[in-house]
Amino acid sequence: MPADDAPPGTGDAFASDPLREQKLRELLDQATRSVTAPAGLAARVRAREVSRHQTRRRALVIGAAALATSSVIVGGMAVEHHFTSGGGLSVITAADGSVLPTPATGTPANPGVPPAGVATSSPAAPAISLPPVTPARPDQATVDQIALAFNEAFDADDNVDDGLAYVQNGSEYHDLTVRFGQQYPGLVGNLRVRLEDITMNTSDRARATVVLTHSDPVLGARWGYEIRRGVEAVRVNGRWLVSASTYMFLVGTA
């Protein structure tokens, strides 16, 4: 049945009239007549949806756990949220704790201090010009004692009271520390403590940045948390201790 307007030598099965449209209908029907849906399709759909739902729930749990800390290490990089007095500044550091250069200057970003020119969420300061204050650097013996206090306080071993001996009013935090250990059993033996930028506020008070790192014992070294916080040490009866407010903040709010 050649079409009136079909070029010679070409197929003529269809043209714009009802008969040829009917021919197309028949062809489409014949061509797929033997096609059937896969067996058990409904069950397969349900299984996929159940699996998808479980995966989504798992992702939400992991996401919630990640958000519960200040920083999450993914692969080789970590995005951190600094809770300095300015607050609200995010920087990217390498997972091994080294600090990446900032894009503008190539100089290392100071983990505890927002880079110049970066707006933070702190309220605008009054326009008063103050002379720059150079923090006093402690001597090496003081640095060692403060570092020892933080290492012992957060050594995460089974003996709670040993660590609390290096915390200001440590005996008050016994129950809190026990609960913390029960809540995060994976931390035991896994937590690493490092102090940076120790400066003296007064002769008995020092500030520093503590970097607490632990990897997930199940997921491996590439997954874990790095918590970087401004902390305070106090000297009580000649001994340097982790200040009560710092310990309460790090352990009590974890």
Partner 1 sequence: MDEASYQSFEGFVVSSGDRLMRTAVLLTGNRHAAEDLLQGALERTYRRWEAERIIVPEAYVRRVMVNAASRWRRTRQIREEPLDAAVERVGVEGVPDLALRDQVLSALQELPRRQRAVVVLRYFDDLSEAAVAEILGCSVGSVKSHASRALARLRLSQHLGDVRIQSERRR
Q: Is 24 in the site for partner 1 (CB under 8 A)?
A: yes
Smallest separation (angstroms) from partner 1 to the CB of 63: 21
Selected binder of partner 1 within 4, 8, 10, 140 (CB under 8 A)? 10
Which CB atom, from 48 or from 239, has the smaller least distance to partner 1? Answer: 48
Q: Choose the binding region for partner 1 from 21-29, 66-74, 164-172, 215-223 (rule: CB under 8 A).
A: 21-29
Q: Choose the binding region for partner 1 from 17-25, 103-111, 147-155, 156-164 (rule: CB under 8 A).
A: 17-25
Burial class (CB in 10 A: 0-12, 13-18, 19+), 48: exposed
Q: Is 216 in the site for partner 1 (CB under 8 A)?
A: no
Q: Which two tokens stand for residue 48?
A: 């996929």
Tokens 């009580």: give the residue: 236
# residues contacting partner 1 (CB under 8 A): 38
Specify whether the CB–CB gap between 139 and 149 falls below 8 A: no
Selected binder of partner 1 within 3, 143, 148, 254 (CB under 8 A)? 3
**CA–CA distance, 70 with 86 (Å, rounded to integer):** 15
Three-point CA angle 105, 107, 108, nearest 5°? 135
Smallest separation (angstroms) from partner 1 to the CB of 9: 9
DSSP track, 93-137: EETTS-BPBPTTT-SBPPTTSPPTT---SSPPPPS-------PBP
Q: Is 174 in the site for partner 1 (CB under 8 A)?
A: no
Tokens 């110049």: give the residue: 116
Q: Is 1 in the site for partner 1 (CB under 8 A)?
A: yes
Distances (CA, A) of 66 to 83, 98, 218, 226: 16, 21, 15, 11
**CA–CA distance, 22 with 34 (Å, rounded to integer):** 20
Give the x-and-dash track for 26-65 against partner 1 (CB under 8 A).
-xxxxxxxxxxxxx-xxxxxx-xx--x-------------
Nearest CA to 241 out of 169, 141, 156 is that of 169
Q: Choose the binding region for partner 1 from 15-23, 62-70, 127-135, 238-246 (rule: CB under 8 A).
A: 15-23
Which CB atom, from 9 or from 126, has the smaller least distance to partner 1? Answer: 9
Selected binder of partner 1 within 13, 67, 79, 136 (CB under 8 A)? 13
Q: Which two tokens stand for residue 84?
A: 């300095």
Smallest separation (angstroms) from partner 1 to the CB of 59: 17
Smallest separation (angstroms) from partner 1 to the CB of 8: 12
**CA–CA distance, 33 with 27 (Å, rounded to integer):** 10
Residues numbered 78-97 forming contacts with partner 1, rule: CB under 8 A: none
Chain residues binding partner 1 by CB under 8 A are 1, 3, 6-7, 10-16, 20-21, 23-25, 27-39, 41-46, 48-49, 52
